[in-house]
Structure 1
Amino acid sequence: MGGVPGPEDLLDVLLAGGRRAESLTHLRHLPARAGTTAPWPEWADPDLVAGYTALGVTRPWQHQVEAADAAWCGSHVALGTSTGSGKSMAFWLPALTAVRAEQRDHGRIENVRRRPSVLYLCPTKALAADQSAALTRLLDAAGTRDVRVATCDGDTPFAERVWVQDHADVVLTNPDFLHFSLLSNHGRWVRFLRSLRYVVVDEGHAFRGVFGAHVALVLRRLRRLAAYYGAPDPVFVVASATTAEPDVSAARLIGVAPGKVRAVVGDTSPAGRKTFALWEPPVLPDVDGMDGFVAAAPGRDADEWWVETPPDEVVERPRRSATAEAADLLADLTAAGARTLAFTRSRRGAESVALHAGRVLSANTPALANAVAAYRGGYLPEERRALEQAIRTGALRALATTNALELGVDISGLDAVLIVGWPGTRMSIWQQAGRAGRAGADGLVALIAREDPLDTYLVHHPEAVFDAPLEATVFDPGNPYVLAPHLCAAAAEVPIRPDEVTSFGPRAAEVLDVLVAKGALRRRPAGWFWTHPGNAAGMTDLRGSGGEPVRVVEGATGRLLGTVDAGGADGAVHPGAVYVHQGASFVVDELDLADHVALVHRKDVDYGTWSHDVTSIAVQHVAQERTWGADDGVPTPDGRGQVGWGLGEVDVTTQVVSYQKRRLPGMEVLGSFELDLPERSLTTTAVWWTADAALLEAAGVTGDLAPGALHAAEHAAIGLLPLLATCDRWDLGGVSTALHIDTGAATVFVYDAYPGGAGFAERGYELAETWLRATRDAIASCPCAAGCPACVQSPKCGTQNSPLEKDAAVRLLDAVLALAPAGEGAVHPSSRSQDGPARA
């Protein structure tokens, strides 16, 4: 195959000349699109126009001009166009033009001191660094030396930070720095804040769930301080992947009425033809030495290759794991000359795909043995920058990555993208797919299904991937668990005046009263005051990760290897755990939760480790409830029983209690080991349904079957809720029990895995019948006999997926759905186009 292979050539690589054709469940050709240009705006700075022209942009795309014009005229803008459509020009052109215009005005010194400033916010440091480099290229091409651009984040040295405070016109940073440093030390940023003219919020679709709620409140605090220092209300440009109702989501994010945001969604940039394959890994062959092997350990992430089952168990021949399949496909694409990204669902998955693909290449194409690497969160900044540069220059042919590269880091010229498992939303699918064939070139995309109810459903229902509306972004700034610490932070910055309360949303007054009653704030006629010596900003964890990340340190050398989110540290870096970093294995010696450090030593091992946890749940407050199968609360006389639905506040207690060692690649259990780690508590929002004894009897679910039936229904329900809410199963948790002390009945709970909740459980409550019907159909349509990862097994189950009763779960859900009122939640799972459950 000479030259750069095209999509049809690469599709043939995937199909292996027809040998893998049975894995292709659907092929969709997305047509190319011609671009539509427009003249440069008359107000645009001529030097900047010359700079863009020198970089090859002779005329802007029409949507760029439309968005830039709206921002220049003072409208907030929600720009929702595809990956690689040039969104950055739409906000840099008006912002930089404003900076240069005023600072040159008559050369007066007061104008120089008060010239406009611009704040650029994005979810990651990598994207900020990438935008800074692009700005430098533009300004160099324009021949300008009068715009001072700087990145500023937690890694910025103090002396450099002082220079930024005193001189920078454009500051690129992230919400974390804005919250923890800039706003809480606003006295040092007076020059910048009083001149704030534009605020760019890039990759706005990433600000969802609890993180989105936090960022929304940080932006309200920013606007408040800018007004405090005399700045007119800055213009916000929210750039996002294509979403439903981007103007509504952007308005909720920045805290203004939806009518004040101009939506620009017509993408006029050119797009190459995309070949998009839906791919289901094959059923494992029944050959000598393969009987009893399954693709992944029951209950664990499908990033492992095989697990051997006892010979006396009857096991469905399962499918190969998506991770193993992706590794082979990535190796084949790399050998064929393609530049490829493989998006995985976990850090372990990224490491596994890169490691296995490298081994395949080493055996078959030794010259390319080092052409594949992993890229994920937790790497040190210098490691990430080196990997980004290597894939740009071609020193690396492929990266196996988490969604850390889903965002707008400029890596162009890729030929193919593998998406290993449904990434949670259609927004993410198209954002990741947009990496293939950027800048108008053709590209190949393959979605590789994991053995998961949702993945299995989607690769056999292509209309749910290609033809359904995109989701809106769900987040709730009124969540009291999010709102309360931000009110404290705002009061610490500048006391909150009575006339400012409504700017924080309709629940702010109620929450302020609670904070006063608890002594967190003090009420005075002039407003609410923070009177404690501590830093109020420290009360808030924007990322919802459970606190300060745990640093992974090599004990012998003191070398920092990376970080692990606090919430996942107990299960990932407990004593005895194996930690993998760029293919090298380390064993954890000590986990110090007080100092947030895990000490490790380098060791080549032939095993991996998997933790086991126990979870309990208690209902604290019922916000909403209803009953199916009852008339005015009285059970109907037909003997079918009744179903109770609840939505409210719960306390979830989880503790990692042990771990297993399993030999690789065979996954034989080598031993189980107890752990002594503390309990972790989470107060959040849950939706639950109960089944009384009569309903269980009507469904033929006896006492011995009930725990397994409920457990199977819980797993499948968690897997299917992402069809209704902008989340994935890792944003959710669940508990099921044949008799719960708070409900007095058999109960299935599904809860938001974030403090206070994120709106996902409420979505399940609103669309209960649709949700459970999709759940029932996913289980019933699966061809396995007793339950598998494609229907009722969960990759995050703390009890090793035991017990599970597939057939009993179907009967139970049939009985439940038979009681659903007519028209309840009548929304198809793939047709969601509403906003989240709460607005501020």
Structure 2
Amino acid sequence: MAVPEWLISDVRARAHLHRESRPGRVGAWPGWLPDEVAAAFAEVGVERPWLHQQQAAASLHGGHPTILTTPTASGKSLGYLAPVLAATWGGTECSPPEVDLGRARFRWAKRPHTALYLAPTKALAHDQWALCRRLTEAGLPTWRTIAVDGDSSTDDRMWARDHAAYVLTNPDWVHAALLPSHSRWSGFLSSLRYIVVDEAHHYRGGFGAHVAMVLRRLLRVARHHGADPVVAMASATIGDAAAHVAALTGLDPDAVTVVSESTAPAAALDTVLWQPRDHHDIETAVLCSQLIGRGRQTLAFTSSRNGAEKVASTTAEHTGERVESYRGGHLDLDRRAVEQGLRDGSVRGVAATSALELGVDITGLDAVVCSGHPGSLSSLWQRFGRAGRSGADALAVLVAADDPLDAWLLDHPEVLASRTFEPIPVGVGNRNIVAAHLAASAQELPLTEDALPLFGAKARELVDELVAGKVLRKRPTGWYWTRPDRAVDAISLRTIGPGGVEVTDIETGQILATVDAGSADRTVHPGAIHVVRGVPWQVVDHVADSPIAWVEPAQPGVRTAAQSVGGVEVIGTESTAEAGVGTSGLGEVRVTSQVNQCLVFDEYSGDVIDNFAVDRPMRTLDTEGLWWELPSATAAHMTPKGRFAAAMHALEHVVTALLPGFVACDRSEVVAVSDPGGARLVIHDLVPGGGGFIRMIAPRAVDLMQSARDLLEACPCTDGCPRCIVSVRCPDHNAALDKAGAAWLAGLLCPDG
């Protein structure tokens, strides 16, 4: 499919990139793979592996930790499944019991090696289990596999423990169930040959740090039971993949095999960067309609559930074809029907959220249209990778959103062409997280001196603090947990600090949504309008730090924005550097914030129509920060009074928006805060103690500020727009912004300023 002339001849097409098609390079099944396993692969459509699959399988079989970071639809799963099957399929002599004994289970003497698969979601683990069952039905009836998680029955968990050779689950279940009762799992753990970590790029920041500690605990317990498992990882294409494996496991990065070059066939791909005149979702629907109307099966990605529904319904209305939405909240049965419709051609288009990114087997489409940059080049290419039917060219279009990151990419298409991907930050240096998992590990097995290096350089210091706090007790044989409760119950892998707040209908008691505790002050204070799946609800009652916010239906067309007071101060400096006429620094910062007011505004015009006082407590966050500081006299050069603060506020917006272009993060993980009084701009983690984001951004601080300056100077608007300084996420409702002043300040902080 040649790129349509009507598309690239339009003035809205800002850039056009072309990638030639690539033939596949086929490998051979290794001699160590049982013939029956090779036959089962053939039965499900895999006659022979691609060379990159063969390379990954050989590395894993040879005992080397390995990560596959090849693109979407390159067959990463087979790269680890081949060695896993060779180890865990026991042949006909290891068939499972024919009689269902209910709870009267017994340990199966001939269980072969075992393997453990970890996915970031329950749904993905069950999807992978479905693939396992296909292989079982294709000629491996004795391969004992099962997916287990917190929703599994007691019988299923006992069967997994006593009989399964391949268990598919998630890190949360390993943390809360398997590790605390590892002695009961000794049969499984003592023969553990492989640990498979799928979608490894999702483990970043605070969540990544927790998962890293769980993996270290798992490796320690497995070695205690006599096993030395090999780690296999699969990931989207990322920067410095070996370092990511090391961060998650504590293994030596030099020992990691990285398989990043795909040898699977790839269709020619034309990529178009599109600058819309209308809202990006509206123009996405128009482009999808034109493509589908010309017979091209098309997948659109949107940033929200509402966006997916609107794009799907609008496109279906314009084309008369079957166009479906695909998002979180849909039943599994409905999602599978959409997937099958794409495969058999009855569904001509789909509008999806990121729910389609996690291991879902939808590829080979004629075109992909992305409504807005997803935040990282890795995610963008993952989405584009869904396009490309065998023997036909493919098309990918990025419809830019009104956002500085999108605008920056439109002006720098060479960044997209370079396919240079962001590294993944993991906050393994976070003292709070490491200390909590040291306590959990000590309850599983007494901590010994030789075990501490697995938990990082600060482990011994943290153990001493845990002893001083009477959490651990030092004995001649190691450090022991001292309390009657379970250490793991004090650790939530997916939240930092207190648990979330349930948004609950006051009339019915139905839980409508969950809000992270860190954002509850702004989003569920009394009087706030909270939108759930496009429906506005007004908070009737919520006491600060309580787990429930009671809501009732809200007046349509009205929205609220919380206002706050606070500040940021540097409490520890690790390093400094010159930054133009100013300086930059890396260290520890203290951020204070108190929500004290709320603006009420019209949803459509954006006009403020009311305001009211809010009483929330002062919050303090100690975390890692990176800052730029201008000479104190800078403000005197900007008149009238208040212009310096407005310029700092605008620069804060631009830097925040550009951050995902420099490190894999989103705007709920790292933010910028301006401190006009101190002539300082600070970006900081939202994870107490740091999530690793700031340390990964710090070496590129100069590039980040130069990009901010270039974007501000290139934007054609006069006083600011959503493509430069106006942010829909601004808690101050974009009050007091100065674009020209922000460009001047950014220039002062650049080396050539």
Q: TM-score under structure 2 normalisation?
A: 0.90
Match of 2:301 in 1: 343
| 1:85 lines up with 2:37 in the alignment | no
Partner of 1:95: 84
Residues 160-309 of structure 1 mapped to structure 2, 5 A cutoff: 160-231=156-227, 233-282=228-277
Question: Displacement of 1:327 after TM fit?
Answer: 4.1
What letter corresponds to residue 655 of structure 2 in structure 1?
A
Equivalent residue number for residue 479 of structure 1? 430
List per-residue Cα deviations over 1:168-223 (Å, max 9, x = no partner): 21111111222222222323322222221111111122222222222221111000
Aligned partner (choices 345, 351, 357) of residue 406 of structure 1: 357
- Partners of 1:273 and 1:193 in 2: how far apart? 46
Residue 546 of structure 1, CA deviation: 5.0
What amino acid is the match of 2:72?
A: T
Retained in 2: the 8 A contact 1:350–1:400? no
**Equivalent in the alignment of 2:688:** 755
Distance 2:325 2:158 in 1: 37
Alignment partner of 1:714 is 2:674: no
1:43–1:799 CA distance, 2 compared to 1 (3 A): same
Paired residue type of 1:270: P
Say if 1:819 and 1:527 are closer, same or farther in 2 by CA, change over 3 A: farther
Partner Cα separation in structure 2 for residue 505 and residue 165 of structure 1:
31
One of 120, 124, 128 as aligned partner of 2:121 = 124
**What's the counterpart of residue 465 of structure 2?**
514
CA distance in 2, matches of 1:261, 1:39: 23
Q: For residue 535 of structure 1, report the CA deviation from its aligned partner.
A: 2.6
Identity of aligned residues (%): 37
Alignment of 1:516-531 (within 5 A): 516-531=467-482
CA–CA distance in 1 between the matches of 2:600 and 2:752? 46
Asked whether the 8 Å contact 2:308–2:353 carries over to 1, the reply is: no
Question: For each residue in 1:134-193, what CA deviation from the matched residue of structure 2 results, as whole angstroms up to 9, or x when unmatched?
Answer: 111111112x22122111122223332233222221111111222222222323322222
Superposed CA offset, 1:40-99 (max 9, x none): 111112222111111221111111111111111211112121111111111111111111
Letter in 2 for 1:808: G
Aligned to 1:825: none
Amino acid at match of 1:463: E
The 5 Å alignment of 1:680-829 reads 680-697=619-636, 700=638, 703-739=641-677, 745-817=678-750
Alignment of 1:637-652 (within 5 A): 643-652=582-591
Name the residue aligned to 2:331.
383
After superposition, the Cα gap between the structure-2 partners of 1:816 and 1:27, relative to the gap in structure 1 and judged at 3 Å, is: closer
Kindly provide the CA deviation profile for residues 484-519 of structure 1, in whole angstroms up to 9, marking residues without a partner as x. 111111112212111111111112112222222333
Cα separation, 2, equivalents of 1:214 and 1:441: 43
> What's the CA shift string for 1:445-485, capped at 9, x where partnerless?
21122222221111121101111522232224122132111
In the other structure, the counterpart of 2:573 is 623
Specify the code of the residue in structure 2 equivalent to 1:383. Answer: L
**Aligned mates of 1:112, 1:102 — CA distance in 2:** 14
Residue 578 (structure 1) shift: 5.4
The Cα shift of 1:130 comes to: 1.1
Matched, 1:495 2:458: no
2:135 aligned residue: 138
The residue identity in structure 1 corresponding to 2:720 is G
- 1:643, 1:819 within 8 Å by CA — same for their partners in 2? no
Structure 2: distance between partners of 1:336 and 1:679: 57
Alignment correspondent of 2:406: 455
Does structure 2 retain, via aligned residues, the 8 Å contact 1:274–1:437?
Answer: yes
SS at match of 1:155: coil
1:634 alignment partner in structure 2 = none
Shift of 1:438: 5.8
* Residue of structure 1 in register with 2:103 after alignment: none
Structure 2 alignment gaps of length 5 or more: 98-105
2:38 aligned to which of 24, 49, 63: 49
Q: Write the letter of the residue equivalent to 2:341.
A: T
Which residue identity lines up with residue 193 of structure 2 in the other structure? R
Kindly state the Cα deviation for residue 622 of structure 1 after the two structures are TM-superposed: 1.5
Distance 1:592 1:438 in 2: 54
- Structure 1 residues 229 and 365: alpha-carbon distance in aligned structure 2, compared to 1, 3 A threshold: same
Q: Is the 8 A contact 1:622 1:646 kept in 2?
A: no
CA distance in 1, matches of 2:576, 2:534: 52
Aligned to 1:72, which of 33, 43, 61? 61
Correspondence for 1:431 among 374, 377, 382: 382
- Identify if the C-alpha distance between structure 1 residues 584 and 787 changes in structure 2 by more than 3 Å, giving closer, same or farther: closer
| Letter matched to residue 179 of structure 1 | H
Shift in Å, 1:102: 7.6
The residue number in structure 2 matching 1:288 is none
8 Å contact kept, 2:179–2:218:
yes
The answer on whether the counterparts of 1:102 and 1:111 sit within 8 Å (CA) in structure 2 is: no
Once residues 410 and 478 of structure 1 are traced to their aligned partners in structure 2, the CA distance between those partners, rounded to angstroms, is: 36
Q: Distance in 1 between matches of 2:647 and 2:627?
A: 15
In 2, Cα distance between equivalents of 1:253 and 1:225: 16
- The one-letter code of the counterpart of 2:694 is A
Q: Does 1:326 align with 2:284?
A: yes
Q: Give RMSD over aligned pairs.
A: 3.2
2:647–2:738 contact (8 Å) kept in structure 1:
yes
2:559 is the counterpart of 1:609? yes
Q: Bigger CA drift: 550-559 or 162-171?
A: 550-559
> 1:835 corresponds to which residue?
none
Task: Report how far residue 557 of structure 1 moved.
Answer: 4.8
- Give, as a single letter, the amino acid of the residue that structure 2 aligns with 1:775: A
Going from structure 1 to structure 2, the CA distance change for 1:814 and 1:585 (only over 3 Å counts) comes to closer
Secondary structure (helix, strand or coil) at the match of 2:331 reads helix
Could you tell me whether the CA contact under 8 Å between 1:701 and 1:808 is conserved in 2? no
Q: TM-score, normalised by structure 1?
A: 0.81
Is the contact between residue 200 and residue 236 of structure 1 (CA under 8 Å) also seen in structure 2?
A: yes
Q: Distance in 2 between matches of 1:657 and 1:438?
A: 55
Cα 1:524–1:588 change in 2 (3 A) is same
